[in-house]
Structure 1
Amino acid sequence: MQRRTLMKLGLGSGLLLTLAGLGLRGIEPGLQTPADGPVRQSPRSRALMGAIALAVLDSAWPADATQRSRALQAHLDLVDGAIAGFPPAMQAELGQLLTVLSSAAGRRGLAGLASDWSEAEIPAVQAALQSMRDSSLSLREQAYQALRDLHCAVFFSAPQHWSLMGYPGPKSFE
C-alpha cells in the first residue's frame, strides 16, 4: 500500500469515527445501572434484544401472541440477570454494542437493518443477523455470535425449555 493511500485511509477512518461518535451523542446507553439494583438493558436495548430473541429462537416461542409476549418478557428478564452476572469489562463491551446497534446508524451499518428493531419483521431481522454471521468483517461476525450465544444460553438454561431439546432434566440419584 502506498503512503498516500494509507494516509487517505487513516484520515477517512478518523472522520468516520468522529461522525459516528457525534451520532451516538445523546443516545441512551445500552445498559443502565440503577441506584437500587443491578445492571439491566435500556428500553431501546430491550427492544433490540427482543427482536433478536424472536428471530434467533423463532420456532421455540409459543404460537399464541399473548403467550409469546409474556414468554419474551420473561426471557428478557433472564437476559438481564445473566448480564448482571458478567464481569464489569464484559458488561461494558456488551453495553457499547447495544448502544451502537440501538442507534439508526449502527443498526444500518453493523446489522444492515433499515427499519427500527421494534418495527422490524422477524424475517428482516433474521436476514440482518445472517448477513452479520456471513460477513467478512470479524466485528460483525463477533457481534452476531455474542448476541446469538447469549440468547440461546439464557433460553435453553431455563428448565421450562429443556423439553425443546429433548433433555428430560437431571437424573435423581436417590
Structure 2
Amino acid sequence: MQRRTLLTLGLVSGTALAVAGAGAAVWTPGWREGRLSQPARVLFASVARAVLEGVLPQDPAVQAVALKGHLDRLDTLIAGLQPATRAELSDLLALLCTAPGRWALAGLGPAWSEAPMADVQSALQAMRVSGSAVRRQVYQALRDLSNGAWFADAGSWELLGYPGPFRL
C-alpha cells in the first residue's frame, strides 16, 4: 500500500466515523414512551396527506383535527405490535427522520414537513416501484400503517360505503 492511499483511507474513514457519531448524537427513536416521537408524527402526517389525498377533509382546520386523530390511532395500532416489530419500526422511523436516511430510503431532499405533497407522493411512488426490496418494504409499511389507522376509524367507513359491522 502506498503512503498516499493510506492517508486517503484514513481521512475517509475518519470522516465516516465523524458523520456516524454526529448522526448517532441526533438519533431520536421513532417510538418511545408508548407513542410516536414528534419527528415520526411529522413524517406520518406528511405520508397521510400524500397517501390519503382525496379522502382527507379539504378544510385545513378540519384536516388538522382529522390528522391528530389519525396519529393517535397510529399510536394505538403500533402499541399493539410485537415488541421486536415495534423496535424495528422505531429504528426505521428514526432513520427516515434524518436527512441522510430520508434521502437514501425515500429519495426525498426536503424535510417531511417542508416537502410539497407532490414530492412526497413521488418519493413514495419511487419506493413502491424500486428495484430494492428494502425500499419497497419501507413503502408498504408506511402505506399500510397509514391506511390501517385511517380506515380503523368508524368515521371513514361511510366514504367506502361500508355500513359497519353487523349487529347481532
Q: Compute the TM-score of the two structures, normalised by the length of structure 2.
A: 0.86
Unaligned runs of 5+ in 1: 1-14, 34-38
Structure 1 pair 19/54, CA: closer, same or farther in 2 (3 Å)?
A: farther
**CA distance in structure 2 between the partners assigned to 1:147 and 1:18 by the alignment:** 30
Q: Compute the TM-score of the two structures, normalised by the length of structure 1.
A: 0.83
Partner of 1:32: 32
Question: What is the Cα deviation at residue 121 of structure 1?
Answer: 1.2
**CA distance in structure 1 between the partners assigned to 2:41 and 2:106 by the alignment:** 16
Structure 2 residue corresponding to 1:69, chosen from 64, 68, 78: 64
Partner of 1:4: none
Residue deviations 1:134-158 (CA, integer Å, cap 9, x gap): 1001000000001100111111111
Partner of 1:149: 144
Residue deviations 1:102-161 (CA, integer Å, cap 9, x gap): 000001111001110011111110000000001001000000001100111111111100
Partner of 1:101: 96
- Secondary structure, in 3 states, of the residue corresponding to 1:58? coil
**Structure 1 segment 60-139 matched on structure 2, within 5 A:** 60-139=55-134
Question: What is the Cα deviation at residue 22 of structure 1?
Answer: 3.3
Question: What is the Cα deviation at residue 100 of structure 1?
Answer: 0.4
Moved segments of 4+, more than 3 Å: 17-23
Partner of 1:51: 46
Structure 1 pair 20/142, CA: closer, same or farther in 2 (3 Å)?
A: farther
**CA distance in structure 2 between the partners assigned to 1:170 and 1:19 by the alignment:** 55
Unaligned runs of 5+ in 2: 1-12
Structure 1 pair 23/144, CA: closer, same or farther in 2 (3 Å)?
A: farther
**CA distance in structure 2 between the partners assigned to 1:159 and 1:124 by the alignment:** 30
**CA distance in structure 1 between the partners assigned to 2:106 and 2:19 by the alignment:** 15
Q: Which moved more, 1:164-173 or 1:81-90?
A: 164-173
**CA distance in structure 1 between the partners assigned to 2:141 and 2:156 by the alignment:** 21
Question: What is the Cα deviation at residue 31 of structure 1?
Answer: 1.0
Residue pair 1:134, 1:141 contacting (<8 A) in 2 also: yes
% of aligned pairs identical? 42
Question: What is the Cα deviation at residue 28 of structure 1?
Answer: 1.2
**CA distance in structure 1 between the partners assigned to 2:130 and 2:22 by the alignment:** 24
Structure 1 pair 90/20, CA: closer, same or farther in 2 (3 Å)?
A: farther
